[in-house]
Structure 1
C-alpha cells in the first residue's frame, strides 16, 4: 500500500502533497494536544485532597495519557505541559498550530522557552509577537530557533530567558549521551579542583601498573582505568597475555558493583571464540576479500547468527565488548529457571528477583521505559492472596507502583497477569492495554512462560484508611512549579546583574564618546 499511495501522482504535484501532509500532521498534533489539555483541565484540581499526594491527580492523568499513547510518564507529563501552555498561556500561537501553520517542533520550543514568564500582560504581548513571527521559524536550526525565541523574550521580560546554568559554573557529571555508539559510553563533567587532581593521579598510577607490552594505547588505558576506578577497583590488569609478565603480581581487581548482561548462547559462544583468538597478520594477497572478473564471481560468506547480548536498559553489547569482558574475568552463568512452587515469603529471593528483572527488562506499565534494575518487584494479586511466584510478579517503577497501590480496585485500574508473562491493565474507562516481557522482544526463545497458578481466593476491598499511607507533598504540584519559576527568575536576574557589572567594570572611565549609549 505504502509504495502505491502516490504512484499515480504527477511529479509536479508531489511537492504539494508533501506540503499538505505537513500541514495535516501539525493539525493532527494540535487536535491531540487540545484533547490532552481538556482531559487535564477536567482531571486536575488543586482543591482536591489528592493534590497533595506524591502520586497526585496530575500523575494519574499522565498515566492515562501515557498508556493511551504508549509513552512513559515523563513524556506524557511533558505533553500535558505543552497542551496547557497552549490552552492557557499562548492562545494566538495555538490558533496557528490548529491551522497547521506551525509545526510541533517549534511549538515545543515556544512553550518551553516562555515557561518563566509570570506576568499575564507581558505573556499576552509575547504571544502576539510569537504569532506574528513564528510561522517562518520552522526552517531554523535548533540553535537559531532558540536564539530567535530568546531574543524576543529578552525584549519583554529579560528575567524569563532560560539561561545556561554553566554561566554560574554549576558542577555536574554525566554518563552517557544520546549519540553514543553501541561499544562505548561517553562521560563528561566538572569536578572540584582537588577531586580532579586526585582522580588524575589515581588513573595515572593505574595505567603505570601495566607492563610496556600491554597492547592498548595510552588513551585506551586511561579509559579502562577510569572504568575500573568507577567499579571500585584499585588496579588495572595487564593485557599483554604473557605468562611471565613482570606486572603479574598485581592484586586481582575487586569490585562491589555487579552488572548483569543477558545474552543468548550464540552470543556467548561467539564472544568466547573471539576472546580466545589471537590477531593474525594479514598476507598481502588477503588484503581484498575477493576479486571478480568475467570468469569468476565473488561468493559472500554465509550469514552467521552471532546472537545478542544486552546491558541494563536494553543497550546492545557488541560481541567484541562481550569478549573483552569475558577475557577480563566476567563470570558466565546459565539463567536460573523457577519451578511451579511459589516461595513462602512476601519478598522474593535474590534469584527469583533476578529472573523477574531479566524477564521484564522494563517497568511493565504501558509505555514506561524505566529499566527493571530501577524498578520495584510487585505482586499482581496482592500478597498474601497472590503468591510470590514469577506468574504473579512483575516490575513496576516507583511511580506506577504507587498507581497500582492506591489507584487500583473496582473503581480504578485493574491488572491481570498471564503465565506467559503478559500483563494487561484496564483503565477506569474500560480501555485495556497489554504489555509483553521485554526479554521476548530481543530473545524470542527466552523462557518467559512459567507455571499456571490456581485462582486466588477473594481479595477483600481496600481499607478506606489505606489512602492515609500515601506519601504526600508539602504543597500542591502547581505551587511547586510556581516556586521553581520564581527561583529561576531570581537566578537569571542575578546572572544578568553580574554580567552587566562585569561589562561596566571593563569599560574605560569617563562619559560615553559620541553617540555611544552607556551599557
Structure 2
C-alpha cells in the first residue's frame, strides 16, 4: 500500500504532522478572527441588524471554505473567542503543543470568566494546558474547571437542565437513500403520549400483517403526519378484519421530483424528495401510486408583468433550485425567498433573473452591498456567479438542474437596467432589539448567578454537615 520506512522516522513524521495540523487550524482561525475585526469597522452600523456582522463574516467564511453556514458560524465563534480572550492559549495551539479537542474545551469552559480576569487565567492555562493532552474528556473538563474556580468561582459552567435542551429533529439518513432519521429529547409526559399513540396506530392491523412491531411503529409516524388513526394492513387478505375506510385529514403535502421514465419503470434514475434528497426509483414509483402527478412546466420566454411570479413560474424555480443558491448554503427552498438578481423593476420577473436565497443570504445580498458588499449575476441556465466583498468569485449551479438536466436548459436572455442606488435602504433591514454581544453577556450573567446560588447551597450543606458531626472537647 505504501513504502515501509524506518519506524523512528514514521513516528517523527506522525508527530510533526499532528503539530502542523494544529498550526494550520490556528492560522485559519487567526484569519477568521482578523476578518471579523475588519468587518466590525466596515459594517459598524450593522450591530443591531438582524443579519449582523457575525452573519456577514460567516457568509464569507462559508463561501471561501466551501462549507455549510453552520460550520462557518462555529468557526467565527471559536476564532473570535480564542484571539480576543485567550491569545496566549492561541499561541500554544499555533505551536502545535495542543490539539483542537483541548482548545475547544478551554474555550467552552472559560466562556463565563469576566473580561478583567480572563487575561490572568489565559496566562496560567497557557503554561499548563500542554500537559493535559492525554486526559480524557471528563478529566480535561474538570482540570480546566479547577483553574477557572481559582480565578473566578462564579464562572464555572453550570450544566444545562435537560428541559432546556428539548428538541426533535428529522433529517435525511446519512447512508440510506430514501430513508430518514428521527430523534430528540422530549418532555416525559409528551413522550408518553407520543409513544402510546404510535402503539395504537401500529396495532391497528390484523395479526397476519408481515411487519414487525418496530416497523409498524415507524410506519405509524407517517400516519400521524397525515392525521390518520390507523395503518393499511399488508396481510393481503380480501376479508382482513382490520380493513376499513382510511381517510386522511392531513393538510401536509409531500413533493417528489422525478422523470417520467422513472414513473413508467423504463429508467432507474432516482427522484428527489424535497427537503431530504435522493429517493430511489422504487420508492418514487411506490409513492406515485397514490400521488397526484403534476408535470413541471417550462416557463415562458416572456417576462411576467408584476413583481411576484405566477404560480407556474414559482413552481419551476423551486424545482430548478431545490436549495438556497448562496455559496455554502443548502437550506431547502421551502425556507427560502425568491430574489430578483437585478432588483425589480430594473430586472424583470423571469426565470433567467430569479433564484432562491434563504432569508439570511437574501438580507446579506440586499443590504451588504457597495465596496464591502456582495454582488451577483445570473446566467440563462440558472447558474449564479457571486462576487464576495474581497473580489473572490464563486459559482453555484442549481441542484435541480444537476440532478435533472432538463431543468438546466437556458430559459432565455433578459434585458436589465442599472438600478438606482436606494438612499436610506438600510432602514428596511429587520432590526434586533439587542446586539449579539448583549445577548451573550446576558447569558453569561444568568449562568454566573446560577453558579453563585449553587456555590452558596453547597457551602450551606457543608456547614450543616460540620455542625452535625462536630463533637465538643470533653472539658
Please classify the TM superposition score into its range, dividing by the shorter chain length.
Answer: 0.7 to 0.9
Question: TM-score, length-normalised on structure 2?
Answer: 0.86
Kept after mapping to 2: 8 A contact 1:160/1:489: yes
**Residue by residue, what CA displacement relative to the aligned partner does 1:257-284 show, whole Å, maximum 9, x if unpaired?**
12223345676566xx9xxxxxxxxxxx
2:62 is paired with a residue whose SS is: helix
2:15 is paired with a residue whose SS is: helix
Give the match for residue 56 of structure 2: 60
- Aligned pair partner of 1:311 in 273, 278, 300: 273
CA distance in 2, matches of 1:177, 1:143: 30
* Structure 2 CA distance for partners of 1:493 and 1:174, relative to 1, 3 Å: farther
* Structure 2 CA distance for partners of 1:161 and 1:265, relative to 1, 3 Å: farther
Give the match for residue 162 of structure 1: 157
1:455 and 2:418 matched: no
1:395 is paired with a residue whose SS is: strand
Q: CA deviation at 1:447?
A: 2.1
2:355 is paired with a residue whose SS is: strand
Kept after mapping to 1: 8 A contact 2:173/2:181: no
CA distance in 2, matches of 1:498, 1:259: 53
Q: What pairs up with 1:347-386 in 2 under 5 angstroms?
A: 347-386=308-347
Cα root mean square deviation, aligned: 3.4
1:422 and 2:366 matched: no
* Structure 2 CA distance for partners of 1:173 and 1:42, relative to 1, 3 Å: closer
What are structure 2's unaligned runs of at least 5 residues?
A: none
* Structure 2 CA distance for partners of 1:170 and 1:394, relative to 1, 3 Å: same
Q: What pairs up with 1:128-147 in 2 under 5 angstroms?
A: 128-140=123-135, 142=137, 144-147=139-142
Give the match for residue 440 of structure 2: 481
Kept after mapping to 2: 8 A contact 1:235/1:252: no
What are structure 1's unaligned runs of at least 5 residues?
A: 274-304, 515-519
CA distance in 2, matches of 1:422, 1:485: 44
- Aligned pair partner of 1:185 in 181, 186, 189: 181
Kept after mapping to 1: 8 A contact 2:317/2:351: yes
* Structure 2 CA distance for partners of 1:36 and 1:254, relative to 1, 3 Å: same
Give the match for residue 221 of structure 2: 226
- Aligned pair partner of 2:81 in 77, 80, 85: 85
**Residue by residue, what CA displacement relative to the aligned partner does 1:291-320 show, whole Å, maximum 9, x if unpaired?**
xxxxxxxxxxxxxx8433433345444566
- Aligned pair partner of 1:466 in 404, 422, 425: 425
Kept after mapping to 2: 8 A contact 1:209/1:247: yes
1:113 and 2:73 matched: no
Kept after mapping to 2: 8 A contact 1:173/1:191: no
Kept after mapping to 2: 8 A contact 1:423/1:436: yes
Q: CA deviation at 1:418?
A: 0.5
Q: CA deviation at 1:44?
A: 1.0
**Residue by residue, what CA displacement relative to the aligned partner does 1:441-484 show, whole Å, maximum 9, x if unpaired?**
5x26342233222321332222x121211122223322222112
Which region of structure 1 is more displaced relative to structure 2, 174-183 or 427-436? Answer: 174-183
Q: CA deviation at 1:80?
A: 2.3
2:22 is paired with a residue whose SS is: helix
2:407 is paired with a residue whose SS is: coil
Give the match for residue 104 of structure 1: 100
* Structure 2 CA distance for partners of 1:412 and 1:154, relative to 1, 3 Å: same
* Structure 2 CA distance for partners of 1:25 and 1:472, relative to 1, 3 Å: same
Kept after mapping to 2: 8 A contact 1:176/1:185: yes
Kept after mapping to 2: 8 A contact 1:340/1:450: no
Give the match for residue 279 of structure 1: none
CA distance in 1, matches of 2:218, 2:467: 51
- Aligned pair partner of 2:374 in 410, 413, 425: 413
1:124 and 2:119 matched: yes
Q: CA deviation at 1:83?
A: 1.9
**Residue by residue, what CA displacement relative to the aligned partner does 1:14-40 show, whole Å, maximum 9, x if unpaired?**
332232222222222222222222222
Give the match for residue 33 of structure 1: 29
CA distance in 2, matches of 1:154, 1:63: 37
Give the match for residue 511 of structure 1: 469
**Residue by residue, what CA displacement relative to the aligned partner does 1:116-168 show, whole Å, maximum 9, x if unpaired?**
212432x234323432333244455555544544454345444433343235x
1:348 is paired with a residue whose SS is: coil
Kept after mapping to 2: 8 A contact 1:365/1:396: yes
Question: TM-score, length-normalised on structure 1?
Answer: 0.79
User: Between Structure 1 and Structure 2, how many residues are aligned?
Assistant: 470
